[in-house]
Amino acid sequence: MRIGIICYPTFGGSGVVATELGTELSKRGHHVHFMAYKKPVRLDTDLERIHFHEVHVPDYPLFHYQPYELALSSALVDMVRLHKIELLHAHYAIPHAYAAFMAKQMLAELQINIPIVTTLHGSDITLVGSHPFYKPAVTFSINNSDVVTSVSKSLKHDTKDIFTIKREIDVVPNFIDIQKYERLRNTCSREQLVKPDERLITHVSNFRPVKRVQDVLSVFAKVNKKVKSRLILVGDGPERQSAEEYTKELGLTDAVDFVGKSNDVYRILCSSDLFLLPSQKESFGLAALEAMAARTPVIATNEGGIPEVVENNISGFLTAHRDVDTMADYAIELLSDDNKLTQFKDAAFERAKVFDIQKIIPSYIDIYQKALQ
């Protein structure tokens, strides 16, 4: 197949999943064309059958906000015609599925039929999409896609609850490449990150308010009083500055590292003893899954799709939103018991295997074939 993938090129979960999906499809003989306003951070364009097309948006003084959707839809028309693309896979309802539908209509005028598969990732539904300004466009984009998927049962339920949806929604979970994680195990260098007598706790996110980074710091402050530990926070975003200030208030500057955005997250995760994810909302929890694939147990909230990934009291612990005391108690319990920690590490890895890319990709191929019928 010749597949066009439209995604955000950033460090967020949707862009990572789209990139990994396209890469695996190319290994299976499919030609995959990515389209975004810049190259996705994890995309290797040197791979055979992988192509990237950058969307250029001319800067006209007439427009207060440059019309990205128009530029994207026009670029999609050109890409489909030039490279004989058979199917478009839009990650995020807006603007990608919306632009894909506009392209579909333009191509129909040229007697070219192009089916659209839309994957809902979360923010496009629960945050941006539910806003009254965008809700009609999101509803339209979903209902006019040929096939719609969501990354969790929780997100499917939220979508049907928030919008008037006529399309059936197939649940296809996010995934990780277990073989890649196993290959990278030899690159772990724990001694470069922590002292021999310290435990390493990690958090990875986009530092938005919904991720509740200050709760991560509050939990760590309680844990560090009982178990000598170090905290590494990976990522960047609007809450980073306030998190750094809160770290100073807690007197933990010497025990906390803010490392910013990183393509080397695995090296940190595979050296970690515990991963914290106190999010107010998570449609899936890809960061938790990546930690588990690196044999790191997770303590998270029981929000959204997280319980579909983390098994409570097996591969980690789940608590109520904002319950930092219980999170800290679980963390201290786990980090104080070597045998229990090893047991949870092994269980986390076994759970991650359920979401191996080799098990999930066939579902997407079936969906593509369904859309092409």
Confidence at residue 92, expressed as pLDDT on a 0 to 100 scale: 87
pLDDT digits (tens, 9 = 90+) for 356-366: 999 999 999 99
* Among 82, 65, 61, 127, residue whose Cα is nearest residue 35: 82
Q: Are residues 297 and 170 in the same domain?
A: no
Return the C-alpha torsion angle 181, 268, 11, 237, nearest 10: 160
Q: Are residues 362 and 232 in the same domain?
A: no
pLDDT digits (tens, 9 = 90+) for 226-247: 999 999 999 999 999 999 999 9
Confidence at residue 124, expressed as pLDDT on a 0 to 100 scale: 60
pLDDT digits (tens, 9 = 90+) for 58-67: 888 877 777 8
Residue, of 242 and 92, whose pLDDT is higher: 242
Distance CA 212, CA 205 (A): 10
Distance CA 12, CA 19 (A): 11
pLDDT-based confidence at 137, cuts 50/70/90? Answer: confident
Q: Are residues 88 and 13 in the same domain?
A: yes
Distances (CA, A) of 278 to 9, 12, 168, 200, 344: 25, 17, 31, 17, 19
In this predicted structure, the answer to whether residue 77 has a pLDDT above a threshold of 70 is: yes
**Mean per-residue pLDDT for 334-349?**
97
Confidence at residue 129, expressed as pLDDT on a 0 to 100 scale: 55
Q: Are residues 201 and 166 in the same domain?
A: no
In this predicted structure, the answer to whether residue 291 has a pLDDT above a threshold of 90 is: yes
Q: Are residues 80 and 229 in the same domain?
A: no
pLDDT-based confidence at 344, cuts 50/70/90? Answer: very high
Q: Are residues 326 and 237 in the same domain?
A: yes
Q: Specify the CATH number for the domain of residue 361.
A: 3.40.50.2000
In this predicted structure, the answer to whether residue 72 has a pLDDT above a threshold of 70 is: yes
CB 274 within 8 A of CB 296: yes
Highest mean pLDDT out of 69-73, 227-231, 279-283: 227-231
Confidence at residue 64, expressed as pLDDT on a 0 to 100 scale: 72
Query: Which amino acid, 283?
Result: S
Confidence at residue 11, expressed as pLDDT on a 0 to 100 scale: 61
Q: Are residues 212 and 229 in the same domain?
A: yes
Confidence at residue 193, expressed as pLDDT on a 0 to 100 scale: 92
Number of domains into which the chain is organized: 2
Distance CA 371, CA 179 (A): 30
Domain, as residue range, for 70: 2-175+357-372
Q: Are residues 99 and 38 in the same domain?
A: yes
pLDDT-based confidence at 132, cuts 50/70/90? Answer: confident
Q: Are residues 323 and 361 in the same domain?
A: no
Mean pLDDT of the chain: 93
Q: Are residues 158 and 197 in the same domain?
A: no
Query: Which amino acid, 29?
Result: G
Q: Are residues 328 and 365 in the same domain?
A: no
CB 237 within 8 A of CB 205: yes
Q: pTM for the whole thing?
A: 0.92
Q: Are residues 100 and 192 in the same domain?
A: no
Confidence at residue 16, expressed as pLDDT on a 0 to 100 scale: 87
Question: What letters, b where the CB count within 10 A reaches 16 and e where it falls short, cover 65-89?
Answer: eeeeeebbbbbbbebbeeeebbbbb
- Among all chains, which residue has been given the structure tokens 């909302």? 281
User: Which residues contact residue 55 at a Cβ distance below 8 angstroms, ignoring those fewer than 6 apart?
Assistant: 35, 36, 37, 68, 71, 72, 75
Confidence at residue 186, expressed as pLDDT on a 0 to 100 scale: 78
Number of Cβ within 10 Å of residue 248's Cβ equals 10
**Mean per-residue pLDDT for 77-105?**
95
Query: Which amino acid, 196?
Result: P
**Mean per-residue pLDDT for 353-358?**
96
